[in-house]
Structure 1
Amino acid sequence: MIKTHTARLIAVLALLGVAAFPLYWMFVTSLTPSEQLFSPSPRMLPTLSQIATYADAFTETSLRLWLVNSLIVAVGTTALSIGLAVLPAYALSRLDFRGKLLLGFALFMTQMLPEAMLVVPLYDIFTQLSLLNTLLGLILANTAFTVPVVTWILKGAIDGVPSEIEEAARIDGCSRLGIVLAVVLPLIAPTLAAAAVIAFFHGWNEYVFAQTFISDDTLRTASVGLASFVGELSTPVHTVMAVGIVYTLPAVVFYLFVQRYVVAGMTSGGVKG
């Protein structure tokens, strides 16, 4: 038993090491002097005397503004996606109406369209609606891609909620909307967290729309700002890695904050009475 436990512990630590090594390598590279970046023998330990690289990333670039813009887009995409997906998910799970299968299939088919295919028509629509060079435009574009996914995720969770619970609430005089908000949503809270993570990461990492719809430097997101360091003649690798570390941390922290709910949402097959 002890040997089995030790073997599992070693396996878990090995997997954690493999998962964390890219971040560690980015950190080491960000603290490596430029003249040593391409030396024959790679450095495995960071040069802490180069820690000022991170301060320079904030003072010499618009990194702080990029992160704020990305956060606004990610949070807006998450909130709007969850808000728009709840009622369609409940309808697909609980209601019988004409065209139900067609609606579900249509939501599924939207995921077969790549973002690049819709850039031109969306650009034209956003031009007419004065949504170019606005973070609201990015939020709406990202939400259009995340709502179908979130809808299907929430539908699966609602399928696992016993209908007897809703019938009891209906007998007590609760309206259909009240049942969804006060009864169903609390029961599928872990799945809501899992859906929120998917929507947040999509809004945080999205690049194509952010690059196409935003031309104002003050509205750049961090993904576009990070790509802007790649130059035709040279690229400041250590600066790119430092900005990459800072760009990655908020998403990692957000995931760590909700991971217990995400795991519960992925593993729950029903509702415990």
Structure 2
Amino acid sequence: MTRSEFISHAALVIIFVLAGLAIFPFYWMFVTATTSDANMFAASPQLVPSLSQLGIFAQIFEEGAVKTWLANSFIIAAGTTVLTLALAIPLGYAFARFPFWGKAGVGIGLLVTQMLPEAVLVVPLFSIFSPLGLLNSYAGLILANTAFTLPVITWILKNAFDTVPVEIEEAAVLDGCTGINALVRVVLPVIMPSVAASAVIAFFHGWNEYVFALTFITNDTLKPASVGLAGFIGEISTPIQSVMAVGVVYTLPAVALYLLMQRFIVSGMAAGSVKG
């Protein structure tokens, strides 16, 4: 075996090991969800799922609360993604293309906001949202999540816009495009991989966010799955199988979105290539 073959085989083994480590927590949740009470605390752990216990996934949907939580999480995450991209695309484009007074200060200010954890912002945001009627509403959580993700997404898109030559836009304008049309029809397709990655980041934050949702939402019908799942933990007992089953169901949409967007990123890179 040559040295290059050894390195390629070693790299392949490392990739498989890392993939296994990433998949194992999800697999273990599924195994635990399908473990009977008799085997839950047995001396030897159950390493494979028991197909006879798959009914637990039907049981968690019987009351309807899990479906409501998942729907709420999707609305909040989708709203966060759409609003973040709607604000970050023009803001990132302005940073990349136009000089304006205070540009450096605004850019630094966006970075400084990332130094503050969510727990520090809960009380100020609660004081602001309360008189505005934004508590116990999707809008309040979407605005809070957007404020937290917007600085990061803006810088990601700003760097993406920087890689696009200005001459491409100038040529589009000479062909009759307005500035906005050039941005939408010429520039955005080129940076679509970055837009897709930004959408994934924003969606994951809205889907997994817990602190704001726990504080701003007290209505049970508006709670997202992140808060509802934590409610399974009881003072005396915790239904471990139900917790793990909901955890599996809660993880699946995020994983599916990532796989879907991963393919979209690859197609976006091919569609956005520029021929010289």
Q: What is the TM-score of this pair, normalised by structure 2?
A: 0.92
Cα separation, 1, equivalents of 2:243 and 2:266: 32
Cα separation, 2, equivalents of 1:74 and 1:126: 19
Cα separation, 1, equivalents of 2:273 and 2:10: 34
Shift of 1:4: 5.2
Shift of 1:264: 8.2
SS of alignment partner, residue 46 of structure 1: coil
Shift of 1:41: 1.2
Shift of 1:79: 0.5
**Paired AA for residue 40 in structure 2:** L
Q: 1:16 aligns with which of 2, 14, 19?
A: 19
Give deviations 1:82-132, integer Å, cap 9, x for gaps.
000111101111111110100110111111111111111111211111111
Query: Which sections of structure 2, spanning at least 5 residues, go unmatched?
Result: none
Aligned to 2:88: 85
Aligned length, in residue pairs: 271
Aligned to 2:52: 49
Aligned to 1:153: 156
Aligned to 2:70: 67
Shift of 1:260: 3.4
Q: 2:170 aligns with which of 151, 167, 178?
A: 167
Q: 2:207 aligns with which of 187, 204, 216?
A: 204
**Paired AA for residue 146 in structure 2:** T
Percent of residue pairs identical: 56
Aligned to 1:102: 105
Cα separation, 2, equivalents of 1:23 and 1:61: 23
Preserved contact between residue 30 and residue 53 of structure 1 (Cα < 8 Å): yes
Preserved contact between residue 60 and residue 245 of structure 2 (Cα < 8 Å): yes
Preserved contact between residue 161 and residue 271 of structure 1 (Cα < 8 Å): no
**Paired AA for residue 272 in structure 1:** V
Shift of 1:271: 5.4
Query: Which sections of structure 1, spanning at least 5 residues, go unmatched?
Result: none
Preserved contact between residue 192 and residue 265 of structure 2 (Cα < 8 Å): no
Cα separation, 2, equivalents of 1:271 and 1:153: 19
Give deviations 1:44-82, integer Å, cap 9, x for gaps.
011111111111111135101100000000011000000
**Residue 263 to residue 104, structure 1, CA distance change in 2 (3 Å):** farther
Shift of 1:263: 6.5
Cα separation, 2, equivalents of 1:133 and 1:84: 24
**Paired AA for residue 19 in structure 2:** L
Cα separation, 1, equivalents of 2:24 and 2:52: 21
Cα separation, 2, equivalents of 1:81 and 1:241: 31
Structure 2 residue 10 is the aligned partner of structure 1 residue 25: no
**Paired AA for residue 188 in structure 2:** L
Preserved contact between residue 74 and residue 207 of structure 2 (Cα < 8 Å): yes
Give deviations 1:231-265, integer Å, cap 9, x for gaps.
11111111100000000000000000011344788
Q: What is the TM-score of this pair, normalised by structure 1?
A: 0.93
Shift of 1:5: 4.8
Cα separation, 2, equivalents of 1:82 and 1:140: 13
Q: 1:222 aligns with which of 201, 222, 225?
A: 225
